[in-house]
Amino acid sequence: MLIRFADAVITGSEADIAAIRDEIAQTMGGDALADTAAVAALFNAIDRVADSTGIQMEDTKITDSADLRAEIGVNDFYSADQKGR
Contact between 69 and 75 under an 8 Å Cβ cutoff? The reply is: yes
Phi and psi angles of residue 58, each rounded to the nearest 5 degrees, phi first? -65, 150
| Region 56-74 average pLDDT | 88
Q: How confident is the model at residue 80 (pLDDT cuts 50, 70, 90)?
A: low
What's the one-letter identity of residue 26? Q
pLDDT score, position 38: 94
Nearest to 7 by CA among 19, 57, 45, 28: 19
The predicted structure's pLDDT at residue 50:
77
In angstroms, the CA 84 to CA 70 distance is: 24
Let me know: does 20 contact 5? Beta carbons within 8 Å.
yes
Of 59, 5, 57, nearest to 74 (Cα)? Answer: 57
